[in-house]
Structure 1
Amino acid sequence: MENQTLASSNHQLPAATQHDDNDSMALFKLWNTLWRRKWSIITLTLVVGMVTVLIVLNITPVYRAWATLLIEQNKGSVVAIEQVYGQESNNNEYLQTQFELLKSRTLAERVVTDLGLVTHPEFDPTQQEPPLFNIRGWLRSIDLHSWFPALVPAKAETPQQNSEEDIFDAVVMQFMGRISIQPQGNSQLVRVQVDMNDPRMAANAANRLAQGFIEAQLEAGLATSADASAWMNSRLSELRTKLKAAEGKLQAFREKENLVDIDGVLTISAAELAATSNRMVDARSNRAEAESLYRQVQSMKNGGWRKLATVSAVLGDPLIQQFKANEAQARSKVEELSKRYGSRHPAMEAARTELAAAEASLRGQVQQVVAAIERNYRLAVANEGSLRGSVNENRTQIQNISRKEFQLREYQREVESNRALYDTFLTRIKETAATSDLERVNARIVDMAKVPKKPIKPRKGLILLMAMFLAGLAGVGLSLLREKLNNTFKSTEDVEAKLNLPVLGILPQVKRKQRKELAHLYETDKDQGFSESIRTIRTSLVLSDLDIPHKVIVVTSSLPGEGKSTVSANIAIALGQMEKVLLIDADMRRPTLAKNFEFAVGNPGLANVLSGTAKFADSVQQAHNIDMIGAGMVPPNPLELLSSPRFIELIEQLKGQYDRIVIDSPPTQAVSDALMLGTLADALIYVIKSDDTSIPLAVKGVGQLVQKKVPIIGVVLNQVDIKKAKKRGYSYGGYYDYYGYNQPHKA
């Protein structure tokens, strides 16, 4: 009564309060997961931190020197040659172009040559010291051929081909990677920056880059005037040739296709095509509607005519509705008369005849409506296909004429574009010839580079802090991922949520020294928590059969090793204190009963009884106040024996001799014996090993039993580490520690 009151009060709590409680519980579980793995996270962070320190200490400091340039955009008074090269654009694009010129390879080659960087220790490979942690070089130095000569071929001797050209190219590429351009706000000032290990050489390189850029601008200006006229004259001659060729192609195409007036070429009526297309759209809509009804009917044909009668199109038929009403009235009459008369009474026979006639009428009408739907679908498909053919034929005719029109327009556009380009170049070459002023250099050095005093990298403190932060973050992520991938049952809430079955009780994890006597640990009472848990399961089992007696109880699990044999034996012993109980070991492939209770070797068992080589009375053993029968000899066909009529008859006979029959069944996912035994059971108990049984496996096993309509009364959560579960935030107050036996049990 108290539990019902608490439950009703919980339902009356506001939704926001329940949501806050769920969030708090989720955060608590998250914190517990991280707290359990705190040392792993801390260890990972410290290891990454130490490795980072060693790496940072091995990094050579880098200095940055910069020179400041002022780059102004040229503004000519007359149309100048810059228009040919596209320099008359907005200021931002112009500056971006100058920045890329400052980083160009040509300028870098000039600086490398002037400063002699090829022989500088920072760029010359022969003068560079190897790093402290040269992992790539260490891997290359390993000679696997000396270790595995039969598997790994010997390394080929490759001659060193470091020519002067290759060395110079490598130095230039390396120097270009050290250059960066930094604009100064929205001004026309720009910093030319060079990063090097040698601060004095960095300053010299930055100054030489700025000076070389100005010199390159002067040289480009002098060469532009001479090159522009020659290039434009040659280009003008090419354009004149292209224009004549395009005009010849246009005239030849007109004469070949007899095209005089292109506007009069189209002779197909667009109105006819549009009308046919509209009719096809309507036909497609009608076909889609008929196909929808047809698919519904086809998808339900396997379900019989009653399944077809539930389709909306069939159900909407007036005769169907009338016949369904007649059938319902006849069925109601049969049910009403069955309460007063026997099955052979004339009135009952007449009523059943009337019901059969009503069902036949309804079935016939359903079949007629379904046949009409199928005919409508075929007619709609045929109509749509006919209209599609007409549309395609009209479209093909129009496309043939449009193709010629398109080709003619293409030739005309080619002539027009060539003529426009020719006129443009002719105008520009005349303007260029009349322009005598050339652009002057538009850049000057504002500040020369100074020798830097402090390095810009590495920022050792920041690198160490970021590395340790990321390592800690990775540790947290790995811990949460590991917890998420642990897809097993950890609590009774998991069992009830995933399997939708009640938990009859939990069995705590016992001490290692007591595991040899697990099969009869309840009777020895050496572990009070375990014994009280068995009593709780026994109470749940007894209370569940108040309406329907549970004489035959089958105990199974998903896989071997989950404790089903232990549960079945202890439950049988606990029931044996109040009733007459028989424990049967039906796991003939991996029997455990004879070994756990030390039966004499060679004693007959269930397999012997079913095969007819022994009598039941000779196979029964008595232990702990209950009768037991082992598996006996291991047969080659256990499933055939368990599904034989002899076993079914044996169970029926034993029901009259015993109050309870507990059967230790094989696992559901190993063999199909459990499904057979479940059909004979009055109740089935499913055993799940805590923090070990896979949720998908258990769901599959329970699903198979439910499909066979096996009466599953609940689940036993076995081998629960109570201490570990409480650290995770799970509570078993209603199953275990409520009785005062919550004592720690070590694995």
Structure 2
Amino acid sequence: MDMTVSARERNWIAQRLANDAPDILQIWQILWRRKWSILALVLIVMMVTALGTFVITPTYRATSTLLIEHKSANVVSIEQVYDPEGMGNEYLLTQFELLKSRALAERVVKKLNLTTHPEFDPRQQPEPLIDIGGLLASFSIGEAIPVILPEDLEEGVDPTEAKIFDEVTKTFMKRVSIAPLGKSQLVQLQVEMADPRMAAKAANAMANGFIEGQLDATMEMSMTATNWMNTRMLELRTKLKEAEDKLQAFREKENLVDIGGVSTINAAELSATSDRMIDARRQRAEAQSQYRQVESMRRGGWAKLATIPAVLGHPLIQQFKADEARARAKVDELSKRYGDRHPALEAARSDLKAASASLRGQVEQIVAGIERNYQLAVANENSLQASVDANKAQIQKISRKEFQIRELQREVEANRALYDTFMTRLKETAATSDLETANARVVDQSVVPTQPIKPQKSLIISMAGILALMAGIGLSLLLEMLNNTFKGAEEVEAKLNLPVLGILPLVKNKHRSQIASLFSSNEDKSFSESIRTIRTSLVLSGMSDPHRILVVTSSIPGEGKSTVAANLAYAFGQMEKVLLVDADLRRPTLAKNFKFPVGTPGLANLIAGTAKVDECIKTIEGIDMLCAGAVPPNPLELLSSERFTKLIEQLKDSYDRVIIDSPPIQAVSDATILAIHADAQIYVIKSESTSVPLARRGVGQLLQSNSPVTGVVLNQVDIKKAQKHGYHYGGYYDYYGYTNPQKTDAQTTQGSKA
């Protein structure tokens, strides 16, 4: 049994989660039910908005069109002093910002004397009771016209003319807008004012003021450029004079006449000296070679020196060598012939010595000559080298002087060229008139507007209607979310996962005691048919195991469970022997509804044993009823006692069906005790009153106590209202019996049995 209950609870939770998902059809039904309230809200808001738009002061927009052209300044071609020409969009954007400048606004305010205009003068502004324009502007629907109010100025201080002029200028700037026309050079000047004629004048004044301002600025810049050029001319003239004086002073100081001729002569001398230097270097090299040979042979004596090619090749040396050779040959010959002391041999030896001495003397002379030639070659080379160095130094000195003088000449020429350029441009500026032309011209003059641009009444009213519609839809959905009650049988089945046995229509203008016996009186056909539908549902649900003990309960008091129990007793009483028991020992209603005498014993007396069954049971219109009796101090103990269990078994044997009116499940725990003895449990829910969480807790308590909850009765349903809201209950009661109250009781009974 516990597993069955747990499975049922799981299915219930799953069904709840599935039903919590948003349903577009359900949202549409909610909105459809409240369509008239939403439409009424929309109409009221639109009417109030329409009245409000008529209070707002209309605003007119005057427009003048300007053509802004590019224009080059001709003051100086290289360093331009004033250049209004930009590159592409930058230039146009600059002109647009100039159109929105404060200087232009002040020019227009002064020209049109707007400080005395009623629309701008704070001293003439009436204080509005309701700033509707400001309210609409806060919603970006209609932008309020900026005006100066007295409270905007300093309190306690009389506004000065300067203060008023400043505030008027700021206000006027807020009413001016610039609108470029596509990618062209055309731009529209737009002025918004409540006075259409003044708006047109202001637009034209702005266009003309912009052109005049450009002319004034151009002329001012031209005068500034002329003055600057005059000043610059004096400076350039002074610099030119200083450069010329410096050049002349340098020439006089260096005694320069023709630097070019001097440098040419020095270059020729340097070339000739260089050629001689080459020859001298070659001669020195040759002399140096011979000198080194002499030095290398000097240690070997004059005989070694005589073998040097430079000495040996000398003609005298060859002659002296030949003489020596002859003398030596003669000595050799005589030495063979004579003795050592022979006069002839001695004479020959004397000749040999004389020849050798001559040869030696000649060798020494030639060697000395080689040394002298080497020294002369070195001295000649050094002399020529000094001459070359002197020529180079002279040429370098001349080059330095030439560089200095050329630098001075360039400075003179540059100052003269700049001076001549400024002189030419100054004459052109004085002779031309291009600085007196403006870079803009008026294409279209502003005309007096005839139609206001705001407030846009149709747009404001439409937006108000749309906002009201959205607010109405949101409010309807919010109220629907806050109204967490059962409004239809579908919601009961979806949120509680229990079948709906039937619904009972709302009975108006009837007392509780009358409603308790309404089925018996058959005054309300729809109510009677609804009771029969509930009876049929209970009979069909108990075909295999009849529901002998029926317990009727609800979540809280006031949901109509007692009237449901009483009318079900009358309905079952037409076919069976039925006993209606009032088990609500705390707040009994059976005795009051059927006007039992005071002190009539009932259920509490039977359980306590102070009365007998025959004394307690009363028969009303063929139905046996057992009231609560004397209200006991311990009703829960009585219902939990063994005597109550035996009493239920005794009554079950005596009657075909026992219907027990139980206390509310959320009020006390008595209903949980009674549910133990029940074969079927009927849960009563009041339409559009019982909250969903409350009913869920009540049903959950019954399921936890293993009570067989058979189904739900949705009570006090306003059928007409529900049908207007999209709910249909044709399947829960005889719709034709409801719509045709003249149907006879026999027809009703026959239809019920069918």
TM class, shorter-length: 0.5 to 0.7
Match of 1:198 among 173, 195, 200: 195
Match of 1:481 among 454, 465, 477: 477
Q: Are residues 42 and 24 of structure 1, via their aligned partners in 2, closer, same or farther at CA, if it must alter by over 3 Å?
A: closer
CA contact (8 A) 2:62 2:449 kept: no
Q: Are residues 78 and 587 of structure 1, via their aligned partners in 2, closer, same or farther at CA, if it must alter by over 3 Å?
A: farther
1:512 counterpart SS class? coil
CA contact (8 A) 2:46 2:465 kept: no
Q: CA deviation at 1:189?
A: 0.9
Q: Deviations over 1:187-246 (max 9, x none)?
A: 0111111111223322332233334445666777878999xx9xxxxxxxxxxxxxxxxx
CA contact (8 A) 2:550 2:679 kept: yes
* Structure 2 residue aligned with 1:501: 498
Match of 1:208 among 205, 208, 232: 205
CA distance in 2, matches of 1:569, 1:659: 16
Q: Which residue identity does 2:450 align to in structure 1? A: K
Q: CA deviation at 1:524?
A: 1.9
Question: Within the alignment, does 1:733 sit opposite 2:730 as a pair?
Answer: yes
Q: Are residues 499 and 97 of structure 1, via their aligned partners in 2, closer, same or farther at CA, if it must alter by over 3 Å?
A: farther
* Structure 2 residue aligned with 1:33: 33
Structural mapping, 1:281-360, within 5 Å: none
* Structure 1 residue aligned with 2:520: 523
In percent, how many aligned pairs have the same letter?
Answer: 56
Q: CA deviation at 1:658?
A: 3.3
Q: Are residues 711 and 511 of structure 1, via their aligned partners in 2, closer, same or farther at CA, if it must alter by over 3 Å?
A: same
Q: Which residue identity does 1:178 align to in structure 2? A: R
Q: CA deviation at 1:518?
A: 0.9
Structural mapping, 1:603-618, within 5 Å: 603-610=600-607, 618=615
Q: Are residues 627 and 81 of structure 1, via their aligned partners in 2, closer, same or farther at CA, if it must alter by over 3 Å?
A: farther
CA distance in 1, matches of 2:72, 2:610: 116
CA distance in 1, matches of 2:672, 2:165: 80
Q: Which residue identity does 2:167 align to in structure 1? A: A
Q: Deviations over 1:434-477 (max 9, x none)?
A: 99999989741323643414032346662576267447735863
Question: Within the alignment, does 1:466 sit opposite 2:472 as a pair?
Answer: no
CA contact (8 A) 1:689 1:718 kept: yes
Match of 2:579 among 574, 579, 582: 582
Q: Are residues 675 and 101 of structure 1, via their aligned partners in 2, closer, same or farther at CA, if it must alter by over 3 Å?
A: farther
CA contact (8 A) 2:67 2:443 kept: no
* Structure 1 residue aligned with 2:569: 572
CA contact (8 A) 1:553 1:661 kept: yes
Higher Rg = 2
CA contact (8 A) 2:45 2:465 kept: no
CA contact (8 A) 2:50 2:457 kept: no
CA distance in 1, matches of 2:676, 2:572: 22
Q: CA deviation at 1:509?
A: 2.7
Structural mapping, 1:152-231, within 5 Å: 160-164=156-160, 166-214=163-211
* Structure 2 residue aligned with 1:557: 554
Question: Within the alignment, does 1:457 sit opposite 2:421 as a pair?
Answer: no
Q: Deviations over 1:474-525 (max 9, x none)?
A: 5863785377445433333332222222221222233424754111111222
Q: Are residues 577 and 49 of structure 1, via their aligned partners in 2, closer, same or farther at CA, if it must alter by over 3 Å?
A: closer
Q: Deviations over 1:330-359 (max 9, x none)?
A: xxxxxxxxxxxxxxxxxxxxxxxxxxxxxx
TM-score, L = length of structure 2: 0.56
Structural mapping, 1:288-437, within 5 Å: none
Question: Within the alignment, does 1:127 sit opposite 2:88 as a pair?
Answer: no
Q: Tell which deviates more after alignment, 485-494 or 170-179.
A: 485-494
2:517 counterpart SS class? helix
CA contact (8 A) 1:109 1:172 kept: yes
1:170 counterpart SS class? helix
Q: CA deviation at 1:555?
A: 1.0
CA contact (8 A) 1:82 1:88 kept: no
Match of 1:539 among 536, 540, 561: 536
Match of 2:682 among 664, 682, 685: 685
Question: Within the alignment, does 1:713 sit opposite 2:710 as a pair?
Answer: yes
Q: Which residue identity does 1:456 align to in structure 2? A: P
Q: Which residue identity does 2:458 align to in structure 1? A: L
* Structure 2 residue aligned with 1:302: none
CA distance in 1, matches of 2:741, 2:685: 21
Q: CA deviation at 1:662?
A: 1.6
CA contact (8 A) 1:48 1:471 kept: no
CA-based RMSD of the aligned residues comes to 4.4
CA distance in 1, matches of 2:609, 2:101: 98
Q: Which residue identity does 1:699 align to in structure 2? A: R
CA distance in 2, matches of 1:161, 1:51: 40
* Structure 1 residue aligned with 2:591: 594
**Any gaps of 5 or more consecutive residues in structure 1?**
1-22, 138-157, 230-432
* Structure 1 residue aligned with 2:408: none
Q: Deviations over 1:35-76 (max 9, x none)?
A: xx54x5665555445434433333333222222222345779
CA contact (8 A) 2:522 2:528 kept: yes
CA contact (8 A) 2:38 2:473 kept: no
Match of 2:100 among 97, 100, 103: 103
CA distance in 2, matches of 1:656, 1:527: 34
Structural mapping, 1:218-257, within 5 Å: none
Q: Deviations over 1:572-602 (max 9, x none)?
A: 2222333333322233343211210111223
* Structure 1 residue aligned with 2:442: 446
**Any gaps of 5 or more consecutive residues in structure 2?**
1-22, 135-153, 229-417, 743-754
Q: Tell which deviates more after alignment, 565-574 or 509-518.
A: 509-518
CA distance in 1, matches of 2:166, 2:641: 87
CA distance in 1, matches of 2:187, 2:126: 35
Q: How many residue pairs align between the two structures? A: 492
* Structure 1 residue aligned with 2:13: none
CA contact (8 A) 1:44 1:471 kept: no
Q: Which residue identity does 1:477 align to in structure 2? A: I
CA distance in 1, matches of 2:44, 2:64: 42
Q: Deviations over 1:371-410 (max 9, x none)?
A: xxxxxxxxxxxxxxxxxxxxxxxxxxxxxxxxxxxxxxxx
Q: CA deviation at 1:82?
A: 9.9
